[in-house]
A and B are shown apart, each in its own frame.
Chain A
Amino acid sequence: MKLDARIPSGPLAQKWSSFKGSMKLVNPANKRKYRIIVVGTGLAGASAAASLAELGYQVDAFCFQDSPRRAHSIAAQGGINAAKNYPNDGDSVWRLFYDTVKGGDFRAREANVHRLAEVSTAIIDQCVAQGVPFAREYGGLLDNRSFGGAQVSRTFYARGQTGQQLLLGAYSALERQVGLGKVKMHARTEMLDVVVDNGRAVGIVVRDLTTGVISTHAGDAVVLGTGGYSNVFFLSTNAKGCNVTATWRAHKRGAGFANPCYTQIHPTCIPASGDHQSKLTLMSESLRNDGRVWVPQTKGDVRRPDQIPEAERDYYLERRYPSFGNLAPRDISSRAAKLVCDSGLGVGPGGRGVYLDLADAIKRLGHKTIEERYGNLLAMYGKITDENSYEVPMRIYPAPHYTMGGLWVDYSLMSTVPGLFVIGEANFSDHGANRLGASALMQGLADGYFVLPPTLSDWLAQAGPSSASTGTAAFTTTVQQVNEHTNKMLAVKGHRSPELLHRELGNIMWNKCGMGRTAAGLQEAMREIKDLRGRFWQELRVTGDGACMNTQLEHAGRLADFLEFAELMCRDALEREESCGGHFREEYQTEEGEAQRNDKDFCHAAVWEHRGANQPALRHREELTFDNVHLATRSYK
């Protein structure tokens, strides 16, 4: 596997413009002769499909949900960063770039991150032009707020539903192209494999989830915008349908998988309420702008929170990180919460919770302002917990939320399989080992609106059209393999549902590859995963057949892929003998309990090459060079 990031030469700030200046172009009249397959219709997929169709390409877009508007980007709450510097508080492209590289604990590619910061401003312009109703000041200009890991206010937001409004903007652009006949939309259709012919991605195999019919689609390029793999933990803030299938199957067809151990555990989620828990709900990080995080100072303090006097509370984030306080980045805040709970100071059922307290802010700003800022979040919290957080502090606990790892891509967002492009959360490119708040929406839309359209055009202009049609051997063989896999799952006829087996996997991953990892624990996890995978193929029970809507079969297929992927994730965590960002190896920490990086041996992206079921994956490296920022110890103190 050859890893060539193909980063344009020249100074950092000129790389993207020099790429665009020298890229190859496809003649407008020729664009309609190219068919592009886009899988996933979240922020990345929908914006890419719409923008490519606007350019004149024929686009086929796929999503497993019943409508493209339901992709999980919709649930993002807090906001989207952009280096507009409207508040005049010292922001710039450079500062956004620097914050993102530092926030990622110096494990991301400089050139990609700088490009992201550069295009961030155009995203806001584009969204406003589409009619996205961002929050505004009384004078009519856009409002900004601050977010974790930054000391400037660069986050644009739409109440607590920014992801929804941005996705509906991208969705409306997509539907406009559907109406114009430039995009053919395939909803309730799940991608089950990528077809690779002569080393080039030439199409996909999909299952119509309503009828069970397997079909094939050929294209000149395939774009995956299929999100992250947090559901490997079973309980996460991701939607129930989020899965690793598209990226994992692409990996098995030759795409390198980078840094699977980089997962983000979000600090502010509603704690689980019992064994029936089916997913976790995030409470936007924006609450930390006004909320103060604390636990009682003494163990076993069972008093109601409002009866615990100020002097007997530990505002541990403010104490440990005085300059960032409650706005410390996610990985740091999550770990701090785990630490206080592990030491027995946690609150709520099982001691797995800390308080997020709005009382001071309500006193300072009034009930009305707090309701305006966070009303919908507090209402959601009330529905789930039956508690009124205007009166009682909320209880929060960290939960898996986002995955920085993903398919390896070069500067053009192309994977190691020519013709296979990967955008948004599904790729590994921009967030290093930890993602800052309000950066996922920025990256998804940057990739889809502004980065992929030119880079894909550049590649098509050089590679030319694919000659493969769905009748070729590559397609028929892949379909055969997909059918065999499905039939094999239906044939097990065991006694346990995919749901139960998935919960087991989640437990292993959360306990041994979650917020704290050790070599011994990871080795144990890998043995347990292998064992569970063996049992999956003996104990699985899928009711019904494959020829109709079968939600059990869908779940089983996704779980089968998670069970393979999970082992690679643990192995990646095991071999990365350092702590960085969301990857915390307990063996590698400072005396104060902070993550200890090892730049000498691990300043690289680990990229895994699949070598078949009987051979372990091979670890390659892309060395990360930092010519523009100084590799510093990340401090938020």
Chain B
Amino acid sequence: MKLTLKVWRQKNATAAGRFESYEANDVSPDMSLLELLDVVNEQLVNKGEEPVAFDHDCREGICGACSMVINGHAHGSDRGTTTCQVHMRRFTNGDTVVLEPWRAKPFPLVRDLMVDRSSFDRIIASGGFVSVNTGGAPDANALPIGKVDADHAFDAAACIGCGACVAACKNASAMLFVAAKVGHLASLPQGQPERDARAVNMIMTMDREGFGACTNTYDCEAACPKEISVDFIGALNRDYRKALSSTR
């Protein structure tokens, strides 16, 4: 089939950006969107033009690198899908596909469709861990954890840190990202000693990095490729309030 790609081009964070249109012929329905971009880039290089820069690595939906707003939706309109898993069979001959980067102040643009998500790393560094040094951990089975709790923790831990929740949110809030990490560790006994401090510190860092507030529109959940539930945001708010009231 034949598709038109309308792609955001911007040389660096300070340069002016614009949309450019590229035609793609002979598109196979089995191609992934990134493979289509590979083909388009090949055409650009052939013409001596610079290819479209975009983040990608594993191309199997787990590393969290790929990050595009596809026709207005973070990672495209399919549920539970990363950009790299969008296949061209989702489109029909003659379609125009619009590709934009994540747009959020705490994610400054690097080039074209690539943004800087190091603010997420800084949020994790401020509390997204259990403080245990290597060595001296008790036997793994010394701490039984019910399957229901373990599964619940996993549902939150599945977050790949891609930032789609922020890109989808009109306020560029990172609440789902923070809630996923806080919720993962709050569901486990290992996470209890630092539970209060973790919630407070991660939210403070989130605010400092310039992410917006949550107004419960749940676009984050709809965009999340790992389908992490907004229930974790509710739990985070409870933890945060409780932590503030019990701060010693």
List residues of chain A with CB under 8 Å of any chain B CB. Answer: 47, 50-51, 54, 65-70, 72, 74-75, 84, 86, 122, 124-131, 133-142, 158-159, 161, 164-165, 168, 171-173, 175-176, 178-179, 185, 187, 210, 239-241, 273-274, 276-279, 281-282, 379-380, 383-384, 386, 449-450, 453, 495, 497, 499-500, 541, 543-544, 548-549, 551-552
Contacts and interface: CB of A to CB of B under 8 A. Distances in A.
Contact of A86 (B56, B80, B138, B141): B141
Interface string B54-98: 011111111111000000000000001100010101000000000
Contact of B121 (A47, A67, A384, A549): A67
Interface stretch (B146-154, B214-222, B230-238, B239-247): B146-154
B190 A131 contact: yes
A141 B141 CA distance: 6
A149 to B, nearest CB: 23
B184 interface: yes
Contacts of A384: 32, 85, 87
A176 B63 contact: no
Nearest to A128: B140
Contact of B65 (A66, A129, A137): A66
A50 B57 contact: no
A134 B150 contact: yes
Given A141-B141, A158-B154, A239-B59, A450 B134 contact: yes
Interface of B: 11-12, 28, 30-32, 34-36, 38-39, 41-42, 44-46, 48-51, 53, 55-65, 80-81, 85, 87, 89, 110-111, 114, 116-118, 120-121, 124-135, 137-141, 143-147, 150, 153-154, 157-158, 160-161, 184-185, 188, 190-191
Given A161-B62, A543-B49, 9 more contacts: A51-B134, A67-B64, A126-B135, A128-B190, A129-B130, A135-B150, A276-B38, A282-B60, A380-B85
Contact of B141 (A126, A142, A276): A142
B14 to A, nearest CB: 12
Nearest to B80: A379
A379 B158 CA distance: 15
A455 B50 CA distance: 46
B134 A449 contact: yes
A231 to B, nearest CB: 12
A136 B188 CA distance: 13
Given A175-B121, A187-B118, A239-B58, A130 B147 contact: no
B150 A176 contact: no
A211 B184 CA distance: 36
- Residue of B111, B120, B150 with most chain A CB atoms under a 10 A cut-off: B150
Contacts of A140: 144-147, 150
21 contacts: A75-B62, A84-B140, A122-B137, A126-B137, A128-B137, A128-B190, A129-B137, A133-B150, A136-B146, A140-B146, A140-B147, A172-B129, A179-B127, A187-B118, A240-B57, A240-B58, A276-B30, A281-B59, A386-B87, A499-B38, A551-B53
B153 A137 contact: no
Contacts of A74: 58, 62-64
Nearest to B45: A497
A541 B49 CA distance: 11
Given A51-B134, A67-B161, A129-B138, A138 B147 contact: yes
Majority secondary structure of chain B interface residues (helix, strand, loop or mixed): loop
Contacts of A84: 140-141
Contacts of A240: 56-59
B188 A133 contact: yes
B58 A549 contact: no
Contacts of A274: 28, 30-31
Contacts of A543: 44-45, 48-51
A559 to B, nearest CB: 14
A165 B81 contact: no
Given A66-B117, A179-B125, A279 B59 contact: yes
A68 B81 contact: no
Cβ-closest 6 pairs across A and B? A140-B144, A179-B125, A172-B129, A129-B137, A125-B137, A273-B30
Contacts of A67: 64, 117-118, 120-121, 161
Given A67-B118, A124-B140, A543-B49, A277 B134 contact: no
